Structure 1
Amino acid sequence: MSKETQELTLNPNLIAFQNNLLAEYQEKNKTVKKGQTLFIGSSIMELFPIENWQESGEIKFEKSIYNRAVRATTTQFILDHIHTQIFDLAPSKIFINIGTNDIGFQVKPEIFHENYEKIIQQIQATLPKTEIFVLKYYPVNNVDFGSDEDEAVLFATRNNDLFNLASEKNRDMAEKLGVHFIDVSEGLADENGNLKKEYTFDGAHISPAGCQVILKNLAQYL
């Protein structure tokens, strides 16, 4: 699927939201502290409220946390906006969770994984001292969810088998490029490997309670 075809699948209101969020990030980037900790990705990461938790004083870390994720985006989107989402912040650590929409939008696997490599390589070339963490994809639950129209569309091209296969390819990429591959999903899945109902509101996105589980698992890397 080409970038143009992918964008045509998005609701115009969603595209407007993405553009507005990018503009907001560009403004915020003017006053960020360099050398801090950055999170990027799509909706899974955008909805992870770690930056808000830190700003409110709910959690404390040595470095400032910035989140520059944008919902409904792919690896190509990050390549297109890599300055706003990454380079302008010059982070010392970056946590990346991107690619589930590549799978969902049925981007050809070779293009998806090539794009992911380009993201890592461009970070390494531009920010050689930045420590990079590639996150394993979180589990989903299409057993207890998927009955309504929106959920059915969501799960038509997304499932744990596809996510696990892609994660293993990302693990190989991380090893080849000399970056970290981490799994911070411990405790999210039930005995069958599906995302626990109490940790999601639609079977794919993580609830606040689930985000607390992820935060606990992330703590050792922050």
Structure 2
Amino acid sequence: MDEIQQMKIKNFKYLNQIASKGATLFTGSSLMEMFPVCEIARSENYDQIIYNRGVGGLNTDEFLENINALLLDLEPSKIFINIGTNDITEDKYGKQWMSHLMDNFSKIIEITKNNLPAAQIYIMAFYPANLHLPWQTEESIQWMRLRTPENLARCNKQLQMIADEYGCMYIDCNSSLVDEHGEQKTEYAIDGVHMYANGYLKVFDEIKNLI
């Protein structure tokens, strides 16, 4: 992890000391960190306490190393999790990136279930990406080259199987986010992976009855 990620996690540790137990938690990497769920929920007149513990750039190894600060210490009653897209790379994990990702994801769910057996866990499908935006650079295309519709669909199928195995709820919010090619719609796209708030408003519409 870099210094910024370490700073964010250290800050969460302090905040967790005063946080309310039994609240709703959204946790994961940048796709969760950039979800303005607390503000959207407040604007929609939700009274529930919601925490966001997303940290941009985290992979599943780093999430496991910091699972206390990012999840367990809050003792939430509802957990929405989106972690693992940063594992979709051969640069670090080689051809075994998929098995590495899913093995670690299963470990995260096992640890959570063992420590918080009464919590409801919602496994969120990975959002669509878009490698064909007009503002893509060679560098960005290389960075996200494996985030094809086919690979993301494979990941989401595995996430759904994990959800079924561990008695979690799998949530796929992608129907309103994808274009006719199965890629992230241009109007939501920041860089082809991350979304503006208009995309997250669509996500919130899909999950608001579960919060």
Match of 1:90 in 2: 75
Correspondence 1:191-210 to 2 at 5 A? 191-210=180-199
Matched, 1:140 2:129: yes
CA root-mean-square deviation: 1.6
Q: Is the 8 A contact 1:186 1:217 kept in 2?
A: no
Correspondence 1:66-77 to 2 at 5 A? 66-77=51-62
Cα separation, 1, equivalents of 2:124 and 2:32: 10
Correspondence 1:3-22 to 2 at 5 A? 15-22=2-9
Cα separation, 2, equivalents of 1:106 and 1:181: 27
Shift of 1:158: 2.0
The TM-score, its normalising length taken from structure 2, stands at 0.92
Q: Is the 8 A contact 2:40 2:201 kept in 1?
A: no
What amino acid is the match of 1:188?
Answer: L
Cα separation, 2, equivalents of 1:89 and 1:145: 41
Matched, 1:37 2:24: yes
Cα separation, 1, equivalents of 2:209 and 2:48: 14
- Give per-residue Cα distances to partners, 1:102-143, cap 9 Å, x unaligned: 113553222211111110011110000000000111111112
User: What is the aligned counterpart of 1:189 among 174, 178, 182?
Assistant: 178
Shift of 1:145: 4.7
The TM-score, its normalising length taken from structure 1, stands at 0.88
Residue ranges of structure 1 left out of the alignment (5+ in a row): 1-6, 8-14
Greater CA drift, 140-149 or 167-176: 140-149
Paired residue total: 207
Q: Which runs of 4+ in 1 moved over 6 A?
A: none
Cα separation, 2, equivalents of 1:24 and 1:66: 13
Instruction: Give the secondary structure class of the aligned counterpart of 2:43.
Output: coil
Instruction: Give the secondary structure class of the aligned counterpart of 2:113.
Output: helix
Shift of 1:202: 0.9
Instruction: Give the secondary structure class of the aligned counterpart of 1:221.
Output: coil
Correspondence 1:169-184 to 2 at 5 A? 169-184=158-173
User: What is the aligned counterpart of 1:49 among 23, 26, 36?
Assistant: 36
Instruction: Give the secondary structure class of the aligned counterpart of 1:66.
Output: strand
